[in-house]
Structure 1
Amino acid sequence: MARTRRASVKPTTTLTFVLLNVLFMAAGAAVVAWTLYPVYESSRYLASAALAIGAAVAIGVLCDRLGWGGGRAAALAAGVYVVGGITLVVPGATSGVDGALQAFIELVRGPVLGWKDIVTLPLPLGEYRATIVPVFALLLTGTLLAVWWALGSARRWALAAVTLGVVEAIAIIIGPAARADALAWAPLGTFLSREFVVGLALFLVMLTWFLWRASYQRGRAISVTRAAGGVHLAKAPRHRLLAEVAAGGAMLIAAICVAVLVAGPLAASTPREVARSAIEPQAHH
């Protein structure tokens, strides 16, 4: 019974492990924020995205280090959402009691009903009303869940990448309907849409994280086996390790080349269908 109880407890992790996971998750969330920048093109959006990602990372690390559960994490996230929403995200919220009350109402309705404004109003939205609220909630929740899975689960850590993938998919769906050249100055820039580049960027971040995390898990399993049974496992020859790394790098480079040379032009020439494409736009009031 005692052995089973010890096995179910999440093993202690080092500060380096925490920092590396957090950096990868924050990088993935930043790619999502970059995806949505053309929707707003405002400094308020950039500040709101930075607050959402930074606060989510801080909450995730704090709860992991102190052993707090999901209830406390949700409470902290709710506090950041309300305070950050009133002081930064919603324009005019600090002008007085009425402004703060209206901002609070927008914070309540935004995550549920605010998406319609994003996909119907003309772009860029700038700082129009409370249109940043739904994305602020998306980045805060998505980043926190990604960090939570990456740090808190020894078996289901891959769900962190799934979470960021879902958030990126939502960002693309509510994004602009028109494709934008990402690298117009590059030789192949006219064939690479911005949406393709951000998708590739998130893929590379998550792939690098997967490779590092898998290597970490393998090393930890070997260490646990040695400590438990006194088994001495022979290390793989150095040339074999180098060959594996080179093979992985070659496959990664090949995948990027295929994506840029084949998938990129095909994606750029294909009509882009998003939520905005199916909804009749409305004018700013």
Structure 2
Amino acid sequence: MKARRVARGTFGRIEAGGALYVAAMTALAAVAAWPIYASITYLVLVGGCVAAAAVLAVRAHRSCWRGGITAAAAAAVALVLGLVVAVPVYRVGPVRGLTQFLAGLFTAWKDLVTVELPVGEYRNLLVPALVVFLAGPLAALLLSWRRTRSFVAAVPVALAIQWFGLGFGPDAPARPVRLGGLAVAAPREAVLGGLGLLLCAGWLAWRARAERTEALHRAAQASGVRLTRVRGTAALRSAALAWLMVGVAAAVALLATPLVASGLQRDVL
């Protein structure tokens, strides 16, 4: 148990790769959600949430915090950011600010699809963005740093962060563009979705390779046998599989993302 806890608290190649992956996915998610808010306050909120999530993730990983401690710390940070940026108390007062913030955790999601976009800083509608860009990167980082098979759960979490911009964004995608004989109904959404899927596929492939390399190095250190790099059929198979994953990801993004985007309807009051 002690060895496992020490391994969890270390930072190395696996952690660096996971951090870069989550940072890239979060950046795509921020771009995807920009049409919802289109305000400087939104950018400030996203920056504050991502920075806080990174600090919390590093602290939780190094200290091997339990889930309850991490959740409590994240809730405290969310309250501070909520009352300073999302529903600033210096504008509405502490009591009203706290009330609107707590209500926004449950009702602002529904309100986002009934208010004309962009919503800017209207009422408490920044609260969903706070939740997404604080809890999402925090969970994705901690999952991506796990040394067990559960690290793959970081992928759906990262995709969920990006889906926020698609699910609550405008229901009228950009003008279709034609790529050869294929008409892309929602080019912006397709590009963002494609980049997200490519990042996920690339990170999963890299993570599997990094784990194999670490395992070989540990075995070599334990046995004293010197490792030699061999390039052959296995390397070709890995490269072919990686390119296949890239092709599938691009095809899914071009075909599925516009369909999902065009199927979402807003009911503006």
1:26 alignment counterpart: 23
- CA-to-aligned-CA distance 1:17-42 (integer Å, 9 cap, x gap): 32321121121122122211111111
Per the normalisation by structure 2, the TM-score is 0.84
Unmatched runs of 5 consecutive residues or more in structure 1: none
1:223 aligns with 2:217: yes
CA contact 1:10–1:153 (8 Å) conserved in 2: no
Q: State the superposition RMSD in angstroms.
A: 3.1
TM-score by length of 1: 0.80
Match of 1:281 in 2: 268
Deviation at 1:197, TM superposition (A): 1.4
Q: Give the distance between the partners of 2:227 and 2:72, measured in 1 at CA.
A: 48
Question: Which whole-Å CA distance do the structure 2 matches of 1:123 and 1:188 have between them?
Answer: 33
- Tell me how far 1:60 sits from its aligned partner: 0.5
1:56–1:143 CA contact under 8 A, matched in 2: yes
In structure 1, the residue matched to 2:107 is: 113
Aligned residues: 267
1:104-160 per-position Cα deviation (integer Å, ceiling 9, x unaligned): 112211121111210000111122121111121122111111111112452311111
- 1:144 and 2:138 are equivalent in the alignment: yes
1:124 alignment counterpart:
118
For 2:114 and 2:261, locate their aligned partners in 1 and report how far apart those are by CA, in whole Å. 19
Q: Corresponding residue for 2:151?
A: 157
Q: Structure 1 residues 251, 160: CA separation in 2 closer, same or farther (over 3 Å shift)?
A: same
Q: SS at 2:31's partner residue?
A: helix
The one-letter amino acid paired with 1:237 is V
Gaps of 5+ in 2: none
- The equivalent residue for 1:93 is 89
- Residue 199 (structure 2) pairs with residue 210 (structure 1): no
Identity of aligned residues (%): 25
User: What SS does the corresponding residue of 1:157 show, helix, strand or coil?
Assistant: helix
Q: Is the 8 A contact 1:181 1:189 kept in 2?
A: no
Q: 1:175 aligns with which of 169, 179, 190?
A: 169
> Could you tell me how far apart the structure 2 residues matched to 1:68 and 1:271 are?
39
Give the secondary structure class of the aligned counterpart of 2:123. coil
Q: Secondary structure at the match of 2:93?
A: helix
Q: Contact (CA 8 Å) 2:201, 2:246: kept in 1 or not?
A: no
Q: Distance in 2 between matches of 1:18 and 1:179?
A: 36
2:203 partner SS: helix
Q: After TM superposition, give the deviation of residue 257 of structure 1 in Å.
A: 6.1
